[in-house]
Structure 1
Amino acid sequence: MCGICGFTGAAPEDLPTLKSMCDVMAHRGPDGEGQYLDAGIALGHRRLSLIDLEGGNQPMVRATGEHVSAVTSPALAADGSFIQGEARGMARGRHAIVFNGEIYNYRDLRAELEADGWEFSTNSDTEVLLVAYLAWGEAALNRLRGMFAFAIWDAEARELFCARDFFGIKPFYYTLQRTDRGAQFIFGSEIKCILEHPAYTRALNEEALESYLCFQFSALPETFFKGIFKLAPAHCLRVHADGRLETTRYWRPDYDFDEGRSRADTVGAIDDAMRESVRYHNVADVEVGSFLSSGIDSSYMAACLAKENPAIKTFTVGFAEYEGERDEISWAAELADQLGIANASKHIGEDEYWASLPAVQWHMDEPSADPSAVALYFVDQIAAKQVKAVLSGEGADEFFGGYRIYQVPFANQKVAWAPKGLLRGASKVMRAAHLRGANYLERASETCEDWYYTNANGVAFTPEERARLLKRPVSGPSPQELTAPAYAEAAGLDETTRMQYVDLYFWLVGDILLKTDKMSMAHSLESRVPFLDKEVFNVSRTIPTRLKVDAEQTKLTLREAAERAIPPDWAQKEKLGFPVPVVSWLREERYYDLVRAWFTSETAQRFFNVDELLKLLDEHRAGADRSRKIWIIYMFLMWHKIYFGGAHVGSAEEAAQAVS
């Protein structure tokens, strides 16, 4: 895992810009860096070395004679002008690549390419990826098994080909700016890289703020920075010589339920797929560890890894408030003892949690209101002290039906006999009388397309609340409008599967995977996600919903598969997530006063109706739980101070100074 950046329309004098773009993401790759500057293209790379430690440096250039060279610095003359050709060791060739991620089946692909006559100069997955593209073109993408975001320059065609992995595990940001050099395409693993380029002028996208209030993360294709976009998962992008962008979707998840397969065979298929995926995700020239929480996902995954490597190290965090109770750390320690594996843990203190918030928001690039991102920040921190890569359990809920909200359609069946109008009327009456059950009846009167847009439902702001909160609404799309294309693609499937499909493209990529990447890379740690493997998905897509979720339980067959590796008490345990004690903290005077100061600040008054903000704070202190809504606003204001406060913030330390 690394960091990549670059831009078209490059000139010799652009080396300092390219270097600045690399330097601002040095945390993504402390093991090395490289810049490639040739006629019309600049490519930069920061390396975290895990495969082919000696030969896998980037940018990598396919030079004459079908061999590659790694570029560690551009060739410059004494006067600072660019030297053409191979002077001073500058590799020359038609194709150059920068790549962030891992191709876990690179050895299989290399053997196939070698059988076809291709030669290799390194043992790296980067070279295999480049050669696979040269051999198979865009069709190479569907042969890959891994996580990736990369860019390949074709000097002869003067085109740049970019791609992002199937599920959006690795980020890829880009912008197209019109300059006196023509259209300049600028890209990076982090938005911070693009902000370093002088062609981009920083501007806030207020439409992103509208969607953020409902989703608690950036849900639009365009980021919080006007004109900077995210390449969507399973998409590739070709930048033509004239600056034209051509985007293609190369893969689409589909479902083909195998109703004839027995429950036992389904459980076996899941277990086989997971064990194979963990084996592939353990491919590295360095030690790979694993996270271990109280939940089934990480427990099952760590147990599978322990079969491959009994000496693995695992890592867990909890909160000091729960120390001595039955918390994440006690569950993980007990399971680690039963499996005979090492476990390192940390109780996060209240003061250090709050002190870390500026660093977290700086690393995230866009505001993130998920309080568990901070827990990830600390577990990545302790893991990075012992290993360079860890396995993490993201994706299991979306693939195998892990969220309790996926059970709602089963609960709605209890009143399926009633006319929808009757249910809506009863809901209004109960809501007016402040009776419990109003939400249940309202949802039962609707389809999931009407009310479900992610797991932010119920914790973030509704469109109506958003309208009252914003001082200057910009009439951005509603959550239902944003999710409508995904629901249309999943038309004909049952409601639970449609909800899972929407989560693949919103909750998973916009919240879960983004914080996984940014928090691990903050500590120069690679986070690998075995559940989010194409072959694991190929199993999950065949499992009927009745074998994933029912009215009483989630992850039905995944739990049974996990029992082949971990004790039943762990496999059948209810999902906790990270129980962050923000609810109680915000009722303490010190934090109430702290957040109140932010809520009455000049920035808050610019965007929000302050009376509505203070109402949230006071209602929460009086006993109602408004913590998640408060956190959404608080994190936006902190992020805005860091990125739009007037000072250049180039590190986590400077972010802390900016908000102090």
Structure 2
Amino acid sequence: MCGIVGFAEEHHDPAAARRTLQEMAALIRHRGPDGEGLYADGRAALGHRRLSIIDLEGGGQPMFNEDGSLVVVFNGEIYNYRELARQLSAAGHSFATHSDTEVLLHGWEQWGKALPGKLRGMFAFVLWDSRTGTLFGARDLFGIKPLYYYRRGELLLFASEIKAFLAHPGFVKRFNADRLPDYLSCEYLPGDETLFTGVYELLPGHSFTWRAGRLTREAYAKIRYRIRSGRSLEEWAEEIDKAFTHSVAAHKIADVEVGAFLSGGVDSSLTVAKAAKQQKHLQCFSVGYAEEAYSELPAARQAAQALDVPCTETTVGPADFFAANRAIQWYLDEPMPNPAEVPLYFLCQAARRKVKVVLSGEGADELFGGYPLYCQGVHMQAWQRLPRSVRRLLARCLPGSGFLRRGAQNRWQRCARANYVFATPAERDCYLKRPAGTPPPARRFKPWFDQVRGLDEATALQWVDLHTWLPRDILRKADRMSMAHSLELRVPFLDREVLAVAMGLPRQLRCTRRKTKVALRAAAARSLSPELSGRKKRGFPVPLAGWLRQDTYYTMVREKFVGPVAEQFFDTRALCELLEAHRQGKVNAMTKIWSFYCFILWYELYFVDPQPPQL
């Protein structure tokens, strides 16, 4: 796990490029405190910050091929690198290290642009071929590891985190104000745009090629459902169990100790159960609150006892929660108001004191049908059998029914992720200083729904989540909060072999009207008690709503709501009225308040006083 930075242009001074590169790398030092490597010639510059996990002595980067004409920087882990190294050795390539990074060099020599499709793992890498003047980059299929780029004329910048671009003199920093409404509605921007004008995130499963100032992008792999019918639940459970067991074993490859997160839910409990069988004295880590109604600690404690693993508990209070949020928004690059990122920040901090790598359960819900949203999709699918005219008539006759209203809409229009914070664009726009004049956020999701018109509703929702919610929310906060503490977080559910099994599952073995993760729970029952394998999804609740009603934190938020950033973008009176209504208990506006507050903190950090907070 590391951080990468770099740039390419038709000509630059190598010495000056190296100095700029070092400044860029310094801004993401947290991703790799164990070492720094820099390379610059007259056209390209590649930098690397290393977190040593595999081949501690010989895996330094940038790494070169035998004649030095090829150089690569890489963030992530390739779990099938030994198998690929054997194939490449048989083809005549010679290896100088035992690092997974070297597979990328010889893989490029052997397979060219087909290389990313052969990799099993989480990765973002950029490779410079000085012989052909080609800069090639790729990102893993799920988007576990980030890769951003910025183009201005013939200049191309790339980095693991956007903040690295701040150190390059060719970077023009501008706020992408047109996308503020989408951020407020969704908590993130679906697609490849960011809140920095001209900065894009390379989409999962995609690669880019830069040559002679020209940039091209293409998909090297796609996620497709290939449903296999005629198999029993027991047969599916066995196949899932086998694939996941192998995945956990692959994700434990490291030359340092590996631990695991444990919340007490089925995903983390199954991960810990598999890892504990493969490693003695597996260290586990859990986080929660003093407010037991919101805390995962009792469930995690119960799971740890059942699985016979030691578990380090961390408790987060309101003072720590609010104090950390400024640093958290800095690490995130873009504002993210999902309160779950705050306890995750402290969980990663506690884990890093004892281990350098942890396993976590992200991705199970998206692959195996774990969200209640998908159960709603099953209900909606049945409702869609009625003629649309009838559905519209019923929605008009019973206007208070949200289900009927959504049922009269197109599938993309009723996407719950599109209005995650505000029920409608009109509700959101009343807080904006200037009318938005932008498409409804649901329209941003339409291109994904258009690609899966033939799938049933629940399956289509899963597929869209895999391409939007998962990489832009779930995995982004997982990467940033772990890397903030120089901790490598691995996600064995998001594995190529596990994906192949999940994509074959019939819908009724993923979710029904009332049940989630049907087949995965059956697989988990082979390793877990009925109580653990059947535990309902809890999410990651936080007691933030109550804290915002306390004088200390109410005052803290209100100061931002009447400050200069709020005055620039929002109707400050409307913000204060919302905050006051929440304080008095008239409404629960926690999510809305937190969205505005996190945006203001982020904007101050990156556009008012662009200095990293004291960490």
| TM beyond 0.5 | yes
Assess, with a 3 A threshold, how the Cα gap between structure 1 residues 129 and 442 changes in structure 2: closer, same or farther: same
Q: 1:257 to 1:606 in 2, by over 3 A?
A: same
Aligned counterpart, 1:36? 39
Out of 518-527 and 294-303, give the one that drifted further.
294-303
Q: Distance in 2 between matches of 1:519 and 1:208?
A: 24
Matched residue, 1:68: none
Of 488, 502, 508, 2:464 maps to: 502
Shift of 1:377: 0.3
Question: Offset of 1:274 from its aligned partner?
Answer: 0.6
Distance 2:574 2:456 in 1: 39
CA shift for structure 1 position 425: 4.4
Find the counterpart in structure 2 of residue 629 from structure 1: 592
CA distance in 2, matches of 1:46, 1:413: 49
CA offsets, 1:154-204, max 9 Å, x none?
Answer: 1111110011110110010111123xxxx1111100111111101112110
> Is the Cα contact below 8 Å between 2:604 and 2:610 reproduced in 1?
no
Matched with 1:23 is 26
| TM-score normalised by L of structure 2 | 0.96
The reply to whether residue 210 of structure 1 matches residue 173 of structure 2 is no
2:8 maps to what in 1? Answer: 8
Instruction: Choose from 638, 644, 647 the match for 2:607.
Output: 644
* Cα distance between partner residues in 2 of 1:13 and 1:492: 54
- 1:8-52 per-position Cα deviation (integer Å, ceiling 9, x unaligned): 134222222111111111110011111111121111100000000
1:141 pairs with 2:116: yes
1:444 pairs with one of 392, 403, 407:
407
Where do 4+ consecutive residues of structure 1 move more than 4 Å?
413-419, 428-431
**Match for residue 490 of structure 2 among 518, 524, 528:** 528
Q: Distance in 2 between matches of 1:505 and 1:247?
A: 17
Aligned CA distance change for structure 1 residues 457 and 643 (closer, same or farther; 3 Å): same
SS, match of residue 338 in structure 2:
coil
Matches within 5 A, 1:217-296: 217-241=188-212, 243-296=213-266
Name the residue aligned to 1:658: none
- How far 1:593 moved relative to its partner? 2.1
User: Would the aligned equivalents of 2:247 and 2:493 in 1 still touch at CA under 8 Å?
Assistant: yes
Preserved contact between residue 100 and residue 150 of structure 1 (Cα < 8 Å): yes
Q: Which runs of 5+ in 1 are unaligned?
A: 65-92, 655-660
* Paired position in structure 2 for 1:130: 105
Partners in 2 of 1:529 and 1:445 — Cα distance? 38
Q: 1:608 to 1:429 in 2, by over 3 A?
A: farther
In the alignment, which residue of structure 2 is the partner of 1:401? 369
Counterpart CA distance in 2 for 1:505 and 1:280 is 24
2:127 alignment counterpart:
152
- 1:618-651 Cα offsets, whole Å, 9 max, x none, are 3322331111011111100010011111x3313x
Q: What is the aligned partner in structure 2 of residue 78 from structure 1?
A: none
- 2:82 & 2:53 partners in 1: Cα distance? 15
- Say whether residues 1:317 and 2:287 are aligned partners: yes
Query: Are the aligned partners of 2:191 and 2:203 in contact in 1 as well (CA < 8 Å)?
Result: no
Deviates more, 1:420-429 or 1:256-265: 420-429
Moved more, 422-431 or 351-360: 422-431
Question: How far apart, in 2, do the equivalents of 1:205 and 1:446 lie?
Answer: 30
Structure 1 window deviating more from structure 2 (4-13 vs 530-539): it is 4-13
8 Å Cα contact 1:293-1:332 kept in structure 2 = yes
Report % sequence identity: 44
Cα distance between partner residues in 2 of 1:573 and 1:309: 25
Bigger Cα displacement from structure 2, 465-474 vs 169-178: 465-474
**C-alpha deviations, 1:437-486, integer Å up to 9, x for none?**
x11221232343221152x6443453222332222245334323221121
Q: CA deviation at 1:430?
A: 4.2
Partner of 2:614 in structure 1? 653
* Contact 2:126 2:136 (8 Å CA) reproduced: yes
Q: In 2, are the aligned partners of 1:348 and 1:378 still within 8 Å (CA)? A: yes
**Cα distance in 1 between the residues matched to 2:436 and 2:404:** 32
Of 117, 126, 136, 2:92 maps to 117
Residue 80 of structure 2 aligns to which amino acid in structure 1?
N
Residue of 48, 52, 65 corresponding to 1:45? 48
How far, CA to CA, are the matches of 2:284 and 2:3 in structure 1? Answer: 25
Tell me whether 205-214 or 115-124 shows the greater mean CA deviation.
Answer: 205-214
Cα distance in 1 for residues equivalent to 2:490 and 2:371 = 21
Q: How does 1:306-345 map to 2 (within 5 A)?
A: 306-322=276-292, 327-345=295-313
Structure 2 counterpart of 1:216, one-letter code: E
Is 1:491 the counterpart of 2:453? The answer is yes
Q: Deviations over 1:534-576 (max 9, x none)?
A: 1111000000101110111100110111111111101111111
Q: 1:199 aligns with which of 138, 147, 170?
A: 170
Corresponding residue for 2:332?
A: 364
- How far off is 1:417 after superposition? 6.5
Q: Using the TM superposition, name which of 130-139 and 211-220 deviates more.
A: 211-220
Corresponding residue of 1:81:
none
Q: Which residue of 2 aligns with 1:82?
A: none
Measured in 1, the distance between the counterparts of 2:186 and 2:416 equals 8
The 10-residue stretch of structure 1 (229-238 or 595-604) with the greater mean CA deviation from structure 2: 595-604
Distance verdict in 2 for CA 1:498–1:413, change over 3 Å: closer
In structure 2, give the amino acid aligned to 1:331: A
**Which residue does the alignment assign to 1:69?**
none
CA distance in 1, matches of 2:410, 2:234: 32
TM, length-normalised to structure 1: 0.90
- In the alignment, residue 272 of structure 2 is paired with which amino acid? A
Distance 1:448 1:298 in 2: 32
Counterpart of 1:251 in structure 2: which amino acid? A
- The 1:457/1:472 distance shift into structure 2, 3 A limit, reads closer
* 2:148 counterpart residue number: 173
1:506-585 matches, within 5 Å, as 506-585=468-547
Paired residue for 1:348? 316
Provide the secondary structure at the position in 1 that maps to 2:297: helix
Pair 326,458 (structure 1): closer, same or farther in 2 beyond 3 Å: closer
Give the one of 270, 274, 277 matched to 1:300: 270
Range with greater deviation from structure 2 (227-236 or 600-609): 600-609
Question: Which secondary structure state, in structure 2, belongs to the residue aligned with residue 631 of structure 1?
Answer: helix
Q: How many residues align?
A: 611
In 1, distance between residues paired with 2:501 and 2:143? 19
Q: What secondary structure is seen at the aligned counterpart in 1 of 2:260?
A: strand
Q: Is the alpha carbon distance of 1:491 and 1:639 closer, same or farther for their aligned partners in structure 2, counting shifts above 3 Å?
A: same
- Residues 497-535 of structure 1, C-alpha deviations (whole Å, 9 max, x = no match): 110111111110110000000000000000000011111
8 Å CA contact 2:381, 2:457 repeated in 1: no
The answer as to whether partners of 1:294 and 1:327 remain within 8 angstroms in 2 is: no
Question: Counterpart amino acid of 2:575?
Answer: L
Amino acid at match of 2:264: S
d(CA) in 2 for partners of 1:150, 1:332: 36
Deviation at 1:63, TM superposition (A): 3.0
